[in-house]
Structure 1
Amino acid sequence: MDNTDGVVLQLGSGFQPYRQYLMEGAAKRRPLWLIDDEPAGWQLPYLVGSSVVVPLEGAGLVLDQAGLLAAAEAVARSHRVLGVFTYDEPSVIATALVADRLGLPGLTPEGAEGCRNKVKSRQALTAAGLPQPRFAVATTADEAATAAADIGYPVVVKPRGMAASIGVALVDDPAGIAAAFDRADQSSRSGPAEYHGGALIEELVDGPEISIDGAVVAGEYLPICIAHKQLGPPPYFEEIGHVVDGNDPLLTDPELRELLRAAHAALGAQYGITHTEIRFSSRGPVVIEVNGRLGGDLIPYLGKLATGIDPGAVLADVAQGIRPQLDSGHRTCVGIRFCYPPEDCRVIEIGVPEPGAVPGLVEAHPMVAAGATVRLPPRAHIGRHAYVICTADDPATCADRLTAAAELVELKYEALNETEYSGRPW
């Protein structure tokens, strides 16, 4: 790769099986310089250079923002920096700070905070008069109980600054509110210090849920793909599968497009890539949250397979303030189903079916190695051991194929039979 025309900074690289395709797509658009928490390894084929910034002590995956800014400025002294992006939740704020410091397109620090901080999101959307759940902020279990009584059960209890439904729970009655608050409060303490403690108490919105990965360029909102979400059994909001239809009529639905535009305007998100969650309730579409990065769970990868649009290339374009090309002649339906063990366990062996074992099965992969421990909510979240991906001509057929493929995944395990588990609930 030739870096004479400049580089795009990437903050964080994530879990290789979930994110490598994004780096590959972005690197085809512009030379990449990675700033991460450890030396580059698998990322090297996609880079012209890299810098290492260690996480803050005791802050989990949260990198030192001052260190990130210094690393970005050092790159800017030797290279022409054209843009900066991230697809990792913990780096959303830092990426906005780098863009602001270097005068690059992207989410502003205020816009990133509006997405990252669920309390500020709710406040901004409320001020704009947009449809969302009724909510309250609680700093103690007693405040959570009062808020839930005011809103009316059932309620959703969630941390103020986490992602991937970590620490989120449905509470049906007053008996469960204290435990749900404590779980959300504890979960929040793995993220940035400004989001530590407390929880949001929200009205439960009825209806099916979708997520939209989209680009915003100069205030224009452009949907990339829409995923229809499948949730696990309550009270937890574990995301066990997604289906992306490249011909989804919601992609051009004027009411939804206007709601998405207005929500991003209210949050101050004029440039960037976002992942928005919407529920279609009895009162119409309701904004659940807006995240300042691409979706997880391989949703952008499903979008690539379903639409032909490369999300990594879109990342690189939008980072430079370029309106991405989202037209594609390739349109189909693609879904993913994650496999969970029947109980907390230690994995002995995982067997996955070969592509074509059921009609439409294109991929099946283990997600953990032999010897790994896998725990279910509430002891842990995202306790998956494998996934399958299927294609079809329509969502219903895709869902049936995913079920058939998931049934072919074989898990040999040893039950943990733990009476207590002191680890974190994620």
Structure 2
Amino acid sequence: MTAQTDVLLVIGSGQQRYREYLLASAAERHPVWLIDAAEPTWQRPHVTGWNVVPLLDRDRLVPDRERILATVQEIAAAHRIAGVFTYDETLVTTAALIAEKLGLPGLTADGADRCRNKHRTRAALTQAGLPQPRFALAYTLAEAREAAASVGFPMVLKPRGMGASIGVVRVDDPAAFDDAFTMAERAGHGGSPDYEGGVLLEEFMTGPEISVDGVSVEGVYEPVFLAHKQTGFAPYFEETGHVVDAADPLLTDPELLRVLRSAHEALHVSTGITHTEVLFTARGPVVVEVNARLGGDLIPWLGELATGISPGRVAADLALGHHPDLTPTEHRTAGIRFAYPPHDCRVQSVSVPSPTTLPGLLQAEPIAPEGTELRLPPSGYLSRYAYVICTAPDHPTCEKRLTEATAATRLTHTPLP
């Protein structure tokens, strides 16, 4: 039996709607000690203890690592820290640094940074000989204009350190370039201050896109969940839905596995869980990015519904130095679809269908309260007013059920200028 003083350190708890299931399942695996920016509320049933500390020091424009590390030392004086992890994109390098300093399993700080910094990712994968788009990094409009000639049109601009496709835009010709660069650069200032500034210019490549949540144990990578991604609002890449099929044949595709394993080796991912986005192009599977954390948008929850494998327990096991059990106990398909407004608006009311009224509808949730301003790209991102989750025996049936459930959501709104 684990001693009370033996704790798993979790840095940042995230939003309850999207992350509570991870914290709860990690706590089922091991007593959790939470470091977060505010007093816990919904987190309390899942944690043994906590410390409140500012996670970001916005005055100095850097994560407040000194204060976080000092807090970790205080915790270590009273408890044995058995492992540390985070599912917060802004904190992955901080968590890796803590694990490294304490000699715990996990990514190295360098490995986490190679994933977090999209320019370092591209450079490492190119050096490893993996198929990659032509790319360049620019911090100013003048630098970007000069680099654009080597990348060529059409191209994709993306902030150096953001996630969830925030600030990512396709540019088809020089006439639209200046405005697109300014938008992408501005969007890059909404995340971790360590990665503010800098826009990656990439050759535009086409093809279906997937994401893979997988695990690495001492450098050996295995996929766990594979989601097919839906995007909208071109020329932007807003993520509108995901579908996970437990029996997806891509999970055993030799070329995809080779690319995933080679990419993780090139990025020095030793032990940990990652969320990798892959585009299937004419050149074969191309890695879009590797995130040193579990996926967002409830993708890991879809994976659990589809396979029965608990992503929170897997993450906890990896942090504790255990080899996680990746044996599926379910074999079905699960998907999520997000509802977006037709234009920029202020929400008056949202209604969603009851799970008892539609086949396969597991959950339908309004996520934009009355008075919320929803602005579509490029004025805003992730401006969703509801989501629906459906399960089905196969992928086509799941897509059909998601479409029916999304059509049954209702938004009453007033337009914004």
* Corresponding position of 1:225: 225
Structure-2 separation of matches of 1:2 and 1:322: 14
* Corresponding position of 2:384: 384
Aligned-partner SS, 2:347:
strand
* Corresponding position of 1:34: 34
Post-superposition Cα deviations, 1:328-352, rounded to whole Å, max 9, x if no partner, equal 2311001100000111111111100
* Corresponding position of 1:71: 71
Deviation at 1:295, TM superposition (A): 0.5
* Corresponding position of 2:165: 165
Structure-2 separation of matches of 1:363 and 1:190: 30
* Corresponding position of 2:275: 275
Aligned-partner SS, 1:270:
coil
Deviation at 1:94, TM superposition (A): 0.4
Is 1:120 aligned to residue 120 of structure 2? yes
* Corresponding position of 1:205: 205
* Corresponding position of 2:145: 145
Structure-1 separation of matches of 2:105 and 2:251: 25
Q: Summarize the Cα distance change of 1:186–1:3 in structure 2 as closer, same or farther, 3 Å threshold.
A: farther
Aligned-partner SS, 1:290:
strand
Deviation at 1:294, TM superposition (A): 0.6
Deviation at 1:288, TM superposition (A): 0.6
* Corresponding position of 1:99: 99
Conserved 8 A contact 1:73-1:102: no
Q: Which amino acid aligns with 2:145?
A: A
Q: Which amino acid aligns with 1:400?
A: K
Q: Summarize the Cα distance change of 1:132–1:230 in structure 2 as closer, same or farther, 3 Å threshold.
A: same
* Corresponding position of 2:347: 347
Deviation at 1:150, TM superposition (A): 2.1
Conserved 8 A contact 2:61-2:194: no
Post-superposition Cα deviations, 1:228-269, rounded to whole Å, max 9, x if no partner, equal 000013111100000000111111222211211111110111
Deviation at 1:380, TM superposition (A): 0.4
Q: Given the two structures, how large is their TM-score scaled by the length of structure 2?
A: 0.97
User: Comparing 139-148 with 214-223, which one deviates more in the overlay?
Assistant: 139-148
Aligned-partner SS, 2:279:
strand
Structure-2 separation of matches of 1:329 and 1:55: 37
Flag structure 1 segments of 5+ consecutive residues without an equivalent: 418-426
Conserved 8 A contact 1:3-1:48: no
Post-superposition Cα deviations, 1:357-380, rounded to whole Å, max 9, x if no partner, equal 222111100112111111111100
* Corresponding position of 1:309: 309
Q: Which amino acid aligns with 1:276?
A: T
Structure-2 separation of matches of 1:211 and 1:369: 30
Q: Summarize the Cα distance change of 1:263–1:116 in structure 2 as closer, same or farther, 3 Å threshold.
A: same
Aligned-partner SS, 1:104:
coil
Matches of residues 177-326 of structure 1 in structure 2 within 5 Å?
177-326=177-326
Aligned-partner SS, 1:97:
helix
Q: Which amino acid aligns with 1:224?
A: V
Is 1:328 aligned to residue 322 of structure 2? no
Structure-1 separation of matches of 2:203 and 2:357: 43
Aligned-partner SS, 1:124:
helix
Conserved 8 A contact 1:133-1:288: no
Structure-2 separation of matches of 1:33 and 1:347: 38
The alignment-based identity, stated in percent, is: 54
User: Comparing 264-273 with 248-257, which one deviates more in the overlay?
Assistant: 248-257
Is 1:8 aligned to residue 8 of structure 2? yes
Conserved 8 A contact 1:357-1:405: no
Structure-2 separation of matches of 1:398 and 1:352: 18
Q: Which amino acid aligns with 1:386?
A: A
Q: Which amino acid aligns with 1:408?
A: A
Conserved 8 A contact 2:344-2:415: yes
Deviation >4 Å, runs of 4+: 59-63
* Corresponding position of 1:423: none
Conserved 8 A contact 1:154-1:173: yes
Flag structure 2 segments of 5+ consecutive residues without an equivalent: none
* Corresponding position of 2:399: 399
Conserved 8 A contact 1:339-1:385: yes
Conserved 8 A contact 1:59-1:192: no
Conserved 8 A contact 1:60-1:191: no
Conserved 8 A contact 2:233-2:377: no
Deviation at 1:59, TM superposition (A): 6.5
User: Comparing 348-357 with 250-259, which one deviates more in the overlay?
Assistant: 250-259
Conserved 8 A contact 1:24-1:46: yes
Is 1:411 aligned to residue 411 of structure 2? yes
Aligned-partner SS, 1:334:
strand
Structure-1 separation of matches of 2:193 and 2:57: 12
Aligned-partner SS, 1:405:
helix
Conserved 8 A contact 2:34-2:49: yes
User: Comparing 295-304 with 59-68, which one deviates more in the overlay?
Assistant: 59-68
Q: Which amino acid aligns with 2:401?
A: R
User: Comparing 58-67 with 10-19, which one deviates more in the overlay?
Assistant: 58-67
Structure-2 separation of matches of 1:154 and 1:317: 43
Report how many aligned residue pairs link the two structures: 417
Conserved 8 A contact 2:4-2:31: no
Q: Which amino acid aligns with 1:68?
A: I
Post-superposition Cα deviations, 1:197-226, rounded to whole Å, max 9, x if no partner, equal 220000111100000001111111121100
* Corresponding position of 1:54: 54
Deviation at 1:63, TM superposition (A): 4.2
Structure-2 separation of matches of 1:34 and 1:57: 19
Deviation at 1:61, TM superposition (A): 11
Conserved 8 A contact 1:55-1:62: no
Q: Which amino acid aligns with 1:402?
A: L
Q: Summarize the Cα distance change of 1:365–1:323 in structure 2 as closer, same or farther, 3 Å threshold.
A: same
